[in-house]
Amino acid sequence: MKPKIGIIGDGNVGSALKRGLERAKYEVKNVGHDPKGVEETAAWGEVIILAVPFAALDDTLREMGKAAEGKTLIDVTNALAPDYSLALGCSTSGAEELQKKAPSAKVIKAFNTAFAAHMETGRVKNAAITLFVAGDDEEAKAMVLQMGRNLGFDPVDAGPLQNARWLETLGYFHIQLGYALKMGTEVEFKLIREAA
Ligand SMILES: NC(=O)c1ccc[n+]([C@@H]2O[C@H](COP(=O)([O-])OP(=O)(O)OC[C@H]3O[C@@H](n4cnc5c(N)ncnc54)[C@H](OP(=O)(O)O)[C@@H]3O)[C@@H](O)[C@H]2O)c1
């Protein structure tokens, strides 16, 4: 049984994931910057994807209120400061800080190391992009790994939520490759490994 997915954010990421998840036969609703709609969408969703800017996470948590309690929260944000530096360094991560602020939620870090342009299909240049998924709740993580597979990604269990530190730095490096080093958004990560 596929969970109902509430997506907070209807920008590049939120709309791409909505299209892909609907194609994969999930029931999906998303919402932009509308506090009442955020609360309603979070209450409706069995799983919530946070596809808002890192700086909007506190507002979003407040607006969701009790609607997010006990649910899987998928954090796709890249923890960037306004000057595009890494906001939190490497001794914690946005996802770990989110977990502290929403202790009853099952926070999962995923999708932050891919560009929005490929999130609908999980593929680029005819190859499945690696989807790194980190989190402490094994059942929630297995559900997100399956969601990634259903979208078309090559999902990889990236371990506990603490590993979000490395996924967020990898997301930062991805932005460096795509924009600062001008490789463009066609560049994505692929983990070569033994077949599972
Ligand atoms: N773009 C990428 O390739 C990419 C890749 C990986 C990860 N990410 C991460 O994914 C997140 C979303 O990126 P994006 O490119 O989709 O950004 P975006 O196109 O700017 O969309 C941001 C969305 O968040 C909404 N929003 C802003 N403030 C909000 C608030 N306080 N409460 C609720 N919603 C709010 C915006 O609504 P309004 O338009 O109504 O303001 C919009 O729907 C970011 O954290 C980014 O770092 C992006």
pLDDT tens column, 64-99 = 999 999 999 999 999 998 888 889 989 999 999 999
Measured in degrees and rounded to the nearest 5, phi and psi for residue 155 equal -80, 145
Digit-coded pLDDT (tens) for 18-53: 999 999 999 999 999 999 999 999 999 999 999 999
Q: Is the CB of 86 under 6 A from ligand 1?
A: no
Per DSSP bridges, beta strands 5-8 and 72-75 are unpaired
Average pLDDT over residues 171-196: 94
130-142 pLDDT, tens digit each: 999 999 999 999 9
CB 77 within 8 Å of CB 112: yes
Pocket test for ligand 1, best of 8, 10, 12 (most atoms within 8 A of CB): 12
Q: Which domains does the chain have, with CATH numbers?
A: 5-180 (3.40.50.720)
Instruction: Confirm or reject: Cβ of 116 under 6 Å from ligand 1.
Output: yes
| Mean predicted confidence (pLDDT) in 5-23 | 98
CB of residue 61 inside a 6 A radius of ligand 1: no
| 32 touches ligand 1 (CB under 6 Å) | yes
What's the pTM value of the predicted model, to 2 decimals? Answer: 0.97
60: Cβ below 6 Å to ligand 1?
yes
> Sorting pLDDT into bands at 50, 70 and 90, what band is 127?
very high
**Average pLDDT over every residue of 168-177:** 97
